[in-house]
Structure 1
């Protein structure tokens, strides 16, 4: 079971997925048109695997780790059958610095060398997770390619193992780690609705469900561009080819705000678009998570964007139907929940075997048909994630982006991250967050009354709640991805914005209660619109400007 095989005269790549008596069922990851009875099937006696080594970063692969730029040179714009180029350039020379010495004892995942894979990623050459022993020989510093043996390890049974710059690992087997740590640090994304209201912890798992056109892909693009992860793995699983083209063009031209280099220097893309073989779509998720775990073992924090797990589940359903398995709800296989859990449970903040710390954070898009969140993929995904960013069609159609509905979404990481916010932002941050959530919920309840009898009959304190809610919605939650100051906002500015909003709220309440100033008079000053425009008017690097806004509010009714 699960062995990788070559099928037919063209040696199409496949995998054993069933054994029935003397018959073997093979899932082929390429088009099988023209395959004839009697053609040979050759096994490599080895599960489906990926090649791990320098040259992965900045590359774009299909679902089974074939580099698409190499395939284009071999077969043109469309992938030919039976094409098996090396996953990474085996002949490229790398400037390797050796960190280990002759006679050193090494354990699984020990780092013995390093090399600059890109200007921003230092690649650590590690002992494979299943090897330990003593270094019998090791090369000096110099230039080596992926075929060169850089060290020989003598194991406990006196066998000699060659260590190269590359290693192989089965995609369906999680890479081992020493210990899973508690999640205590947020993944800062620069998106206010996420960082402030529904934060994701580093090493956590989140889902972005939404119907067609609600902005799942664009939200993931923003997270990939601006999150503070060290490495980005973007998996385009069954998505449209033009979307992946946009990712390539955007990421190649975008300057990474962390490093000043191209964002592609710390990004790898896996593209299994909707017109590629459906079987490879099922493997693409596992390919991406295995590559992410490899960089996690080096001590990096990795964020995975899986777009979309619904297309992956559809591939499972199609393959299950071919196997004539008994279908469950909506035709999906009965093992859909276990497959989803296998994927999301590979997220985590861990202590690696080599003593470093790293994390894999998973952000999976879900595409429920008709935007129905009660369908099986969405409901089963909610069982295995702790952060739910539900996209709303009405918000998207109103051009409110990110279109995350603040009433349907939630994050169970808030309490876990509270000490970090208190220490790194402000002790009052979560109190302001709670006030914002409460205000938005009050607005929702009041809108039911407003729809019936209008806002004019409400008392001033309730109308103030509606006005401040509008400031939160438009001035804080809504973000302009094309505005230099608003596309990504540091967490300290997010706090200052909330602080100003509720300073205005408290001042208005004071004026109305103590000085009998009607809300209509306060509204004529235009202060609510001025606070909404803070996100554009105050640059991310000039937070001292908030003091001027505070002074302006204080002097408003004097």
Structure 2
């Protein structure tokens, strides 16, 4: 267990030096750390927190710092991307291995047992997960996807954060006690969770989702929110805009071939139906 991680990263570096882009999955670094703890104990070394060796953090850093992009002696570019799975007992990320890892890595995907029980996959908690790379990648997104990609991403994240804050109120008094604009925010956040964040790895179409399609899906959600706010300001009811058939078609369409080409047409139909809710009122 202790040697396997080093074996894996060395093989990854071998292919990196051949000019390949390598992804290494270490599952799990917790068991690797436990092996280090057992070896350290048998060597009668001074234990650190929870019995782990005092050099745990430095060993973790040495491992993760072997990831990166290089220019080989032959002039090719190669890279190693390390994905380390940490499996703390009871999901407690305050233990030494999790904390030592979080101090080093710049991206964290927090798996959530509650989401898994709700059949929400991938079960990644969007509130606890984070990336420290957005600013480094923003210009690439602007050049290759869309000029407003970073702003769209920020708006989507903000809506999920607002939903989490509103859920505390909903649990006390129910959603009907909220103002209409906040009820709409909850509906839009539900669209983000069910339409944008969920993905079926066993579906032949939904398995793959290009960045440009993800951008269009996010824009569609924000367009629904903006046009619904206008319609409700013009007298339409919340149920009127939420129950339009085009919204359902937009959400179900991602399971069909050619969805990327049809999303513009679906958006146009959604706009017409939302506008129609004002005329009906």
Shift of 1:464: 0.7
Shift of 1:528: 4.0
State the partner residue of 2:53: 333
- For the 8 Å contact 2:26–2:85, the answer to whether it is kept is yes
State the partner residue of 1:524: 243
State the partner residue of 2:2: 282
- For the 8 Å contact 1:497–1:534, the answer to whether it is kept is no
**Structure 2 residue 262 is matched with structure 1 residue 545:** yes
State the partner residue of 2:219: 499
State the partner residue of 2:84: 364
The TM-score with structure 2 as length reference comes to 0.95
Task: Indicate which of 470, 476, 479 corresponds to 2:190.
Answer: 470
State the partner residue of 1:431: 151
Q: Deviations over 1:95-144 (max 9, x none)?
A: xxxxxxxxxxxxxxxxxxxxxxxxxxxxxxxxxxxxxxxxxxxxxxxxxx
Q: Deviations over 1:65-117 (max 9, x none)?
A: xxxxxxxxxxxxxxxxxxxxxxxxxxxxxxxxxxxxxxxxxxxxxxxxxxxxx
State the partner residue of 1:512: 232
Shift of 1:523: 2.2
Q: How does 1:114-133 map to 2 (within 5 A)?
A: none
- For the 8 Å contact 2:250–2:267, the answer to whether it is kept is no
Q: How many residues align?
A: 275
Task: Indicate which of 241, 252, 274 corresponds to 1:533.
Answer: 252
Shift of 1:534: 3.1
Shift of 1:527: 4.3
Q: Deviations over 1:413-437 (max 9, x none)?
A: 1111111111111111111110000
Higher helix proportion, which one? Answer: 2
State the partner residue of 1:322: 42
For the residues of structure 2 that align with 1:528 and 1:544, how far apart are their CA atoms?
17
**Structure 2 residue 71 is matched with structure 1 residue 351:** yes
Shift of 1:521: 1.6
For the residues of structure 2 that align with 1:495 and 1:355, how far apart are their CA atoms?
35
**Structure 2 residue 119 is matched with structure 1 residue 399:** yes
Task: Indicate which of 93, 102, 105 corresponds to 1:385.
Answer: 105
Shift of 1:301: 0.7
State the partner residue of 1:151: none
State the partner residue of 1:487: 207
For the residues of structure 2 that align with 1:544 and 1:529, how far apart are their CA atoms?
17
Q: Deviations over 1:352-382 (max 9, x none)?
A: 2322111110000000100001011000001
**Structure 2 residue 59 is matched with structure 1 residue 342:** no
Structure 1: tracts of 5 or more residues without a match: 1-280
**Structure 2 residue 131 is matched with structure 1 residue 414:** no
Q: Deviations over 1:267-291 (max 9, x none)?
A: xxxxxxxxxxxxxx11111111111
For the residues of structure 2 that align with 1:338 and 1:534, how far apart are their CA atoms?
49
For the residues of structure 1 that align with 2:173 and 2:246, how far apart are their CA atoms?
27
State the partner residue of 1:146: none
1:360 is paired with a residue of what secondary structure?
strand
Q: How does 1:20-39 map to 2 (within 5 A)?
A: none
Task: Indicate which of 12, 25, 45 corresponds to 1:305.
Answer: 25
The TM-score with structure 1 as length reference comes to 0.48
- For the 8 Å contact 2:71–2:78, the answer to whether it is kept is yes
Q: How does 1:200-349 map to 2 (within 5 A)?
A: 281-349=1-69
RMSD: 1.2
Q: How does 1:1-16 map to 2 (within 5 A)?
A: none
Task: Indicate which of 376, 399, 402 corresponds to 2:96.
Answer: 376
- For the 8 Å contact 2:253–2:259, the answer to whether it is kept is no
Bigger Cα Rg: 1
For the residues of structure 2 that align with 1:533 and 1:331, how far apart are their CA atoms?
51
For the residues of structure 1 that align with 2:66 and 2:184, how far apart are their CA atoms?
46
2:84 is paired with a residue of what secondary structure?
strand
Structure 2: tracts of 5 or more residues without a match: 277-281
- For the 8 Å contact 1:471–1:528, the answer to whether it is kept is no
For the residues of structure 1 that align with 2:174 and 2:249, how far apart are their CA atoms?
25
State the partner residue of 1:262: none
For the residues of structure 2 that align with 1:393 and 1:479, how far apart are their CA atoms?
17
Shift of 1:542: 4.7
2:260 is paired with a residue of what secondary structure?
coil
